[in-house]
Every structure is written in structure tokens, then in C-alpha cells.
Structure 1
Amino acid sequence: MPTSRRSLLIAAGATAPLLLAKPAPARAQPDLSTPEGWLNWVSAHRDAIGLAIDDGRGHRLAHAADTPRPLASAVKVLHLAAYAEAVIARRIDPDERVRVGDWERYYVPTDGHAHANALSQLGIPADSSELYAADPEQRVALRDMVSMMLLFSDSAVPDFLRDRLGAHAVVTAGRTRGWWRADVRSLCAEYLFLALPETAPPPRLPVAARRAWGFALERRYRDEPALRQRVRDWRLHQPMPPLPEQVAWASSTAAGSPRELDAVHRALASESDPASTLAREHLEAPAAGGALPPGVDGIGFKGGSLPGVVTAGASVRRSDGTIGTGGLVAHDPAARGELVTSNPAALLLPAIRDARWRDRLGAALGR
């Protein structure tokens, strides 16, 4: 069963890629915006993909489900869960009016125009660069920032939330839902490591030390206008690093497994506590404005992509009370640019909803 047009739009808005230095060379390759294209790609790249799918009706498909690979923006489901818990506990106010300039203190313009799209969606005029707000004194509701994190994958929002709530709150929100040791890093810092290589930690630094290095760099970026201006000047006047450097960098970013993604999406889709309910409302909002497939009450989705990386977590709540979920993590450095422009919903949602298509996917995986 093909995904609905609305499902494809969900993915298009939720997996904003890193800007590439230049388009990948033209070559024959599967169309990764379609289920059939994904089947062809999977059959040729079995070692590059991990899946954990549970249709909620007794059928599962797992392939390298516990193998960690780079997560890209799919990790933001944890920031969403932590935000929802903080709202319910009254530690944060969703109606708080946040100064746009404070939001942009975490913004590194390497996000495929995700932040610019978020500003446009919120009716905030951009400056002449078309990357930043023209008036940093404008205010936006925190709940709307969270919506932009999901709809356009704005990467400044999760850092804003994590800095406000603490990394422990984000890790704990995952742990209580089956993601035991989430590698919650500063996305801002990870992008800075690529944009300004001199700020990057030494090679082969242990993960915990790299994470601490990143938090310290993020605080500098947050508090030093001169450093933010330096990055702005770089983005406006310098090309992005060559694609091979981007691919190598993406391989060093925070990792997680399909099973962990699946566990969190299942918990948020099925649990009735107020925090999970609030998070579910955010996850399902992009699909709620369109016609859902027959028998489906809600579709939650959060994807991500970087050069050589595409990821997604999804849930499908049905009218009969069953809930299907899935996690997908693919990492193929040789794929270069094509995974960035792929649509993971075209692979994941049919596999959750349709037994025949799931069987075909299993066959493509050699199962």
C-alpha cells in the first residue's frame, strides 16, 4: 500500500538536511521518495540499514534493530518528550513569549533552511540574508517553537530546550520510555565542529568528553555575539565543506538504534499520562490537518537526515485501538547525497500499515 500524499508531506517537513556543498553527481539510483525505490535500495544495502517495526497486531520485522547508527534529527523526539514532561510539571510555560534573538543564539545556519522556513511559517520577516529574523526583538510562543522543531526540524529549538531543562531531563524522558542511554549532545556544537573545524574536539575523544566539549562550545556560542557573527559571516561568504568532509563528520554524530526509536514512539503513542498525550498531539499535528487513511486516528512522525544518513520514528494509531510503530536508521557513507533527499516515510509507514508490503520489505532484507 503506498503512503498517502499527506504522509509524504510529513516527511518532507520533518527531515531538513544539512546543506550540501554541491549536488551529488547525476547517476542512476532508486527513487527514495517512493516505496518501490526504497525496496530496490534496501535490497542492495542490507548492511547499511536497521529497522524495528511492530504493527500492533502481532507482526514484527527487525533487522539490525539494536545496532546504533547516526540519528540525525530523529533524536528530537526525546527533546519533545522532555518538554512535555516539563509543561505538565509546570517547570516551563508553553505560552512563554520567547525573544527570537534568544532562539537564534543556538542557531547555526547549516540546516537546509529549516530555521528560515520556521520563521516564514510563523510570519516572522527574515533579514537580507534570508537566514535570520530581521527583528530579533520579536516574540514567539514556546509551543510554536516546539512545533517548528517537528514540522521543519529546526535544530536551534532542541538545544534551547535542553539548555533550559538540562540534559538529564532529556535523557530521563527517553529512559522512562525504553531508550536507556540516549547520547544527548548539543546539535549547535556538532554543526560548529563542521563549520569551524578549529572548534572541534581532538579525534577519537570518548563520547562523554566530546559531549562535554560540545556543551562548553554551545555556551560560548550562546553568550558571545562575536562568535555568532563569525559563523554568520562564514555562512554568507564561504562554501560549505566538501561533501566527503560532511559525510565523515556525519558519521561521528550521536547514534542510536531503531529499537530505541521505536520504543519511544510506541510509548508516546500508547501511554495515557498527560506528558505523553501532549507530546503525541505535537507529533501528530502535521498529519492532523489533512485526510488520514481510513481507519487511522493519528500518524506521528519524526525523521532526520545528514549526508549518508536517514532516520525516522513513526506511530500509527488506528480506530480499532491498535497501534503500529517503527524505527528506521540508515547509514551509508558511500551513498553521499541521495539519502539526504530521501523520504523515510515512504519506507516506514507502508511497512507499519500493510502486511504485504512488510513481507516484501522482509524479502528485500533477505529474511
Structure 2
Amino acid sequence: MPLSRRSLLIAAGAATPLLLARPAFAAPPDLATPEGWLAWAAAHRDGLGLVLDDGRGGRLAHRADAAQPLASAVKVLHLAAYQNAVASGALDPREDVRVGDWERYYVPTDGGAHPAALQHLGVPLDETGLHAADPERRVTLDDVVAVMIAFSDSAAPDLLRDRLGAHAVTRAGAARGWPDADVRSLCAEYLFLVLPETAPPAGIPQAARQEWGFALEQRHRDDPALRQEVLRRLQTQLPTYPEQIAWASTTASGSSARVAAVHRALSGEGGLARGHLEHALAGSLPPGVSGVGLKGGSLPHVLTCGISVRREDGSTGWGALLAHGEITAEQLSTGDPGLPLLMAIQDPRWRDRFATALGG
């Protein structure tokens, strides 16, 4: 089974029109296999950020501090902030959330993650297949967080950040080894792609871009007409794949070292966050492993994942892989960045092969 949940950009439920891969002269490596990742890493050393520690003295790092697009791997920060808020009593995981309020942050460019999340929670879809048929339906806050991780729902992190404040998310990251994290609005970033006229000026500082995005997110949240315009635009004016690639390079970034640090911390803390991260693989663990927590993501030309591996002997491995470069639509749909991480953490021979591919 796949080791990560990937989110591919779509429009109105159709993936193919929005993901148009360029013709290739040779078959690209299969990123659903470990050998494929070796080949990709060897050919794209300047596009890979990697850090891992097997918890037994074995380590590997390559461009570990280089900032690269994070895609949905950034959501581990929102999960950490949620854990802090529950621990302090600021949030109750049993709180009822109106689905219509959750969906005010939703831009249908997530590869069907939100509709899949709704169906998983037993919420019927409307005739478009994108939203809840009844916006008055209630789910628990912990349900929303669970599908943020399991299905990579991209409205959930904005709902959490808006409730808690951006500083709560950055503080949660800083306390776990990720200072000055980029916690801009995901809703706004998608709107910049779908409605390019709403995008901030080129070269604007990160802090100003973040505030611009928060203001646009609030407009989207509070203005049904804007949400309708987004749907109309997605049905009539799809961004080209080159436009998507250029846009993805401007989205939230961070380093593999920072992503890995948060996964390591949350694994050690236990509680709700570790439970959500480890849920997907709870029924298919390797021998001697008591838990594998991970959160991955994808955007055009981007595949990412952070991971932790708890073993029955008490040791813990951890790491992160951020890939950015020539990645086709097919590779995005099948590629699994968690696979090479898990293998390199668990098998020293595989880690050595990875190091060789990276020129080490």
C-alpha cells in the first residue's frame, strides 16, 4: 500500500485537464519503487533535500537546510498547533464543526481530497461531487484534523490556523525545531493560481505575502460570490501545466531538516498528533516496528514527505525528503516519497545506496 497521501491539482473533479505532462524522450523513473527513487536522486541532486537518522547511529543528509516547496508536508505544523491547543484546553477535539464553515476555506484544487474526506466521514456530496450536500452537517474537530492528515484535506489547516492564529502555528513549530515556519494560507495560494489577478506583486517579502493571503482567504471565507467565481473559473479557464509548475515554486517552503525535526518531536510526545500520523499504516507495520508516522504532499514538480519510525526496542528513526524538479503528472499520481525514507531508515544497505546515488 502507498506510504503517503498525495494531492494532485484538479478542476471540478477532473484530473487530466489540469495535469498535462510534457513529452519525454525516455521513460521517467518509477517513483513508486525504491530503484526509481535512486535513479531520480542521482539525476536531480540539486532538487532533493534529504535528512534521516535511523536512531541507531546511522545518518544521511543532503542539502538538509535548503528551502524547497513543502506541499502538504507543511500540515504537520498545524497538527502540532492543534496538539498544543488541546493540551492547553483552547480547543476541544469533540467540538462540533459545521461542515459549511469548514468548506469556506476550500478551493477545489486538491485532487479530490476534500470530497474523499467527506465521504469517509459519512457526509453525502452535492451534485457537483465537490461539497457537502447539507452544509449544516456536523463533524467533530478531531475528525477534521484526522482527514487533514489521512486525506490531505487543504481546508482544515486554514480553519485551524484561523481559529488559533498564525503565531500559535509558528510557536508550535519553533518548540519542535522549526523556527520561522512559513504558515501562509493554503486557500489563498490556490486562489493565486486560479484567480491570478488576486496574486500579490512579484518579489513581495514573505511576511507581506502572508498577510496578503490572509486577507484574501477572509474574502473567500465570507463572500459566496467569490467562491462561485472560483468554481466558474475552474470550469472554464484551467491554468496550464507550465503555469502550475511556476506557481508551485512560489508556494510555502522549508527544509528537510525542519520537517524531520517536527516529526521526531511529535513521535516522542505521543498523544493525538502521533495517533493521526501513525493511523494510515497501523495495520501494516514492518516486523519490529510499533508505529510509522508520516505526512506527505505533492504539487506539480514537487513530492515531499516527513516520517518517524518507532521500534519495539525503544529506538526511533526519523527523516524527511523534499523533491522538486522534473516530476511528471504520472510520477505525481503514483510516486511515494515515504518509501525511500522508510527503507533508508530501516536498512543500512539501502541508506548506503542512497548516499552513493547522491554522490556521497
Which residue of structure 1 aligns with residue 99 of structure 2?
A: 100
* Counterpart among 239, 258, 263 of residue 260 in structure 1: 258
Match runs of 1:33-182 below 5 Å: 33-182=32-181
Aligned to 1:207: 206
1:18 lines up with 2:9 in the alignment: yes
> Aligned partners of 2:215, 2:19: CA distance in 1, in Å?
31
| Residue of structure 1 in register with 2:293 after alignment | 300
Q: Deviations over 1:180-226 (max 9, x none)?
A: 11011000000000000111001111111101100000011111111
Aligned CA RMSD, in angstroms, stands at 1.2
- Once the two structures are TM-superposed, the CA of residue 339 in structure 1 deviates from its matched residue by 4.7
Q: 1:337 aligns with which of 326, 329, 353?
A: 329
Q: Which of residues 335, 354, 358 in structure 2 aligns to 1:361?
A: 354
CA contact (8 A) 2:9 2:19 kept: no
Gaps of 5+ in 2: none
Query: % of aligned pairs identical?
Result: 61
Structure 1 runs not aligned, ≥5 long? none
Describe the SS at the equivalent of 1:203.
coil
SS in 1 for 2:329: coil
Residue deviations 1:120-153 (CA, integer Å, cap 9, x gap): 1111111111011111111111101111000110
Question: TM-score scaled to structure 2, two decimals?
Answer: 0.95
Counterparts of 1:106 and 1:53, CA distance in 2: 34
Cα distance in structure 2, aligned partners of 1:262 and 1:248: 26
1:321 maps to which residue?
A: 314
Runs of 4+ in structure 1 over 4 Å off: none
* Inter-partner Cα distance in structure 2 for 1:190 and 1:138: 27
SS at the partner of 1:106?
coil
Contact 1:56–1:323 (CA under 8 A) maintained in structure 2:
yes
Contact 1:171/1:181, CA 8 A, preserved across alignment = yes
**Match of 2:240?**
242
**C-alpha separation in 1, matches of 2:54 and 2:129:** 42
SS of 1:39's equivalent in the other structure is helix
CA distance in 1, matches of 2:23, 2:148: 31
Contact 2:30 2:331 in 1 (8 A): no
Which residue is equivalent to 1:280?
274
CA distance in 2, matches of 1:232, 1:43: 41
SS of residue paired to 1:340: helix
The answer to whether the 8 Å contact 1:104/1:156 transfers is: yes
Instruction: Name the SS of the counterpart of 1:53 in structure 2.
Output: strand
Whether the aligned pair in 2 keeps the contact of 1:307 and 1:339 (CA below 8 Å) is no
Q: Distance in 2 between matches of 1:339 and 1:166?
A: 35
Choose 226-235 or 173-182, whichever is displaced more.
Answer: 226-235
TM-score when scaled to structure 1?
0.93
* AA partner of residue 327 (structure 2): A
Structure 1 72/181 Cα, relative in aligned 2: closer, same or farther at 3 Å? Answer: same
Letter of the aligned partner of 1:53 in structure 2? L
Do the aligned residues in 2 keep the contact of 1:15 with 1:302 (CA within 8 Å)? Answer: no
| Mapping of residues 340-351 of structure 1, within 5 Å | 340-341=332-333, 342-351=335-344
Between the aligned partners of 1:265 and 1:55, the Cα distance in structure 2 is 13
After TM superposition, the structure 1 stretch with the greater mean CA deviation from structure 2, 27-36 or 165-174, is 27-36
1:286-319 deviation per Cα after TM superposition (whole angstroms, max 9, x unaligned) = 111x131110000000001100111110000000
Q: 1:265 and 1:96, CA in 2 relative to 1: closer, same or farther beyond 3 A?
A: same
Q: Partner of 1:335: helix, strand, or coil? A: coil
Counting matched residue pairs gives: 351
